[in-house]
Every structure is written in structure tokens, then in C-alpha cells.
């Protein structure tokens, strides 16, 4: 068995996520499932925290972690304009090292999991289409487990007023029919 098979992970969306000096997550508006669109056409600001717990026996080993934003309808990676001006998949990759928990000199039981945290912030929002479901998905060493994701829906603006349309049911008899 390896890191991929033994890792536990959870993903959390929030309006804001910070990490304090001891490594604890501090989240505001955590666990949302819907995001609105701002007047600039971008979603509301969005932060993503990924917590990966790995058995301490892997301390000192490295693994690759990849976060990818996918359109749930198509299953494909969301494409955004990259630094070169070309469309690129919204994918964040990092090599992480498994470190034992606890300050130096403090006894920590072997069965205590090590923890790797990845935190990503989109302070101005993302250019996503309203009326669609999206999914942040985690892969470790190029492999994905079925519960390593978090989904959200982008809501669109409310419908505008209707001018000149019919009001009410049209299959009712008129008063002149009697």
C-alpha cells in the first residue's frame, strides 16, 4: 500500500480561509454550495481548503497533489485564460512532503496521522458560467478516490420582468362565453 491508498482527504469551500500560526484553519462562510455572480461577471470570492491525512509511517516521503476544477455536466476541466492569453485547464499542482505532527521534542503516538493542508484563494472570484454545477476534485499521485471532491452551483441573476406577456392561465373561459 502507498500514500494514495491510505490517505484520507476532505475539501472545504468557504468565503474566506486563513491558517493560524499553529496550522489550524479559520474559515468564514464555510461549506457553501452556491455562489453568485458579481457585477464584474466573476463568481463571489472563493477559498478552497484541502486537508489530507496520511499515516505517519510515510513521514519524509513526497507525493503530488493536484486540484482541478471540473464542469459536472461535461466532466471536463474548466478552461480559463492563462498568463499567456491562451485557454488552460484550471489545475493547481504541488509536490507535498509528509511531516509528522507535533512540535519538536513532544511525544506524538505513531498512530497519529500526519496532515498536509493545501489552501487556495480566488479573492476576486472565477469566470464561471451561471446555471451550472462545478466540482473541485483532488488527485494524489495522479489518482482520484470517489469522495475527494466538493461541488457547488453558480446561480445566475434573477429573471427580469416580462413585458407584454399574458398574465394568468389561458385555458379559462371568458365571460363572453356564457
- In CATH, what number is assigned to the domain containing residue 49? 2.60.40.10
Residue 176 lies in a domain: no
pLDDT 10s digit of each residue in the chain, 178 long?
A: 889 999 999 999 999 999 988 888 999 999 999 999 999 999 999 999 999 999 989 989 999 999 999 999 999 999 999 889 999 999 999 999 998 777 778 887 877 889 899 999 999 999 999 999 999 999 999 999 999 999 999 998 777 777 776 655 555 555 555 5
Does residue 125 fall inside a structural domain? yes
165 within a domain of the structure (yes/no): no
Number of domains forming the structure of the chain: 1
> How many helical (H) and strand (E) elements, i.e. helices and strands, does the chain have?
1, 12
Q: CB within 8 A of 150, min separation 6: which ones?
A: 11, 12, 13, 48, 135, 136
Whether 173 is covered by a domain: the verdict is no
DSSP state of 175: G
Contacts with 92 (C-beta within 8 Å, 6 or more apart), sequence order: 66, 67, 68, 118, 120
Q: Flag whether 124 is in a domain.
A: yes
Q: Give the domain range for residue 116.
A: 3-158
Amino acid at each position: 500500500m502507498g500514500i494514495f491508498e491510505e490517505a484520507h482527504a476532505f475539501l472545504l469551500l468557504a468565503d474566506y480561509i486563513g491558517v493560524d500560526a499553529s496550522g489550524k484553519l479559520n474559515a468564514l462562510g464555510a461549506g457553501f454550495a452556491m455562489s453568485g455572480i458579481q457585477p464584474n461577471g466573476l463568481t463571489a470570492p472563493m477559498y478552497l481548503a484541502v486537508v489530507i491525512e496520511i499515516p505517519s509511517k510515510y513521514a519524509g516521503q513526497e507525493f503530488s497533489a493536484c486540484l482541478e476544477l471540473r464542469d459536472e455536466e461535461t466532466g471536463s476541466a474548466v478552461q480559463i485564460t492563462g498568463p499567456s492569453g491562451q485557454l488552460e485547464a484550471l489545475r493547481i499542482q504541488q509536490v507535498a512532503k509528509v511531516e509528522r505532527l507535533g512540535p519538536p521534542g513532544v511525544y506524538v503516538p505513531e498512530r497519529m496521522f500526519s496532515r498536509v493542508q493545501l489552501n487556495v484563494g480566488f479573492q476576486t472570484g472565477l469566470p464561471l458560467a451561471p446555471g451550472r454545477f462545478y466540482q473541485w476534485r483532488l488527485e494524489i499521485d495522479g489518482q482520484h478516490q470517489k469522495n475527494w471532491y466538493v461541488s457547488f452551483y453558480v446561480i445566475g441573476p434573477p429573471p427580469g420582468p416580462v413585458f407584454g406577456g399574458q398574465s394568468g392561465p389561458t385555458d379559462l373561459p371568458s365571460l363572453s362565453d356564457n
